[in-house]
Amino acid sequence: MTDHTTTLAAFIRYLKAGPASPLPEAEGWSDMIRRTTAPGAACQVAEETHDYFLEVLPPRWMGREGYAFGEGADDLRLFWEGAGRAFFSRQLTAAENATFCRLARIPHTSG
């Protein structure tokens, strides 16, 4: 068994594993922000939300597995596209953020 913290690809697979909370119907912006900033769990997001965070600022990290968004010293939020054009997000915990930044070889802050 391989430790999920030895490579970035393995760590991203770990972060994406497990069930994701479904996309609520008619979710407002503040409700979406509250739901998607709860660390440690994946949640489905609308394609428009995925695209907004991709375009509002340059991603801190981008790869085949998705992209990571974060402002300043905020912990990263991982976004990806799943099967059937479903889109997902996971707010990283402080420990996950530190591991992601180490494996991706990116600074812990964008500032």
Does the pLDDT value for residue 98 go beyond 60? yes
Q: Tell me the average pLDDT across 79-90.
A: 95
How many residues would you count in the chain? 111
Among 37, 25, 23, which Cα is nearest to 77's?
A: 37
The pLDDT value given to residue 111: 64
Total tally of structural domains belonging to the chain: 1
Identify whether 3 is part of a domain. no
Identify whether 110 is part of a domain. no
Tell me the pLDDT tens digit for each residue of 4-60.
778 999 999 999 998 899 999 989 999 999 999 999 889 999 999 999 999 998 999
User: What's the whole-model pTM score?
Assistant: 0.92
Domain extent, residue 94, equals: 8-104
The pLDDT value given to residue 1: 40
Identify whether 46 is part of a domain. yes
The pLDDT value given to residue 109: 84
- Is residue 3 within 8 A of residue 11, CB to CB? The reply is no
Identify whether 44 is part of a domain. yes
Identify whether 109 is part of a domain. no
Identify whether 64 is part of a domain. yes
- Is residue 88 within 8 A of residue 15, CB to CB? The reply is no
Identify whether 111 is part of a domain. no
**Where does residue 105 fall: left (phi above 0), alpha (psi -120 to 50 degrees), or beta otherwise?**
left
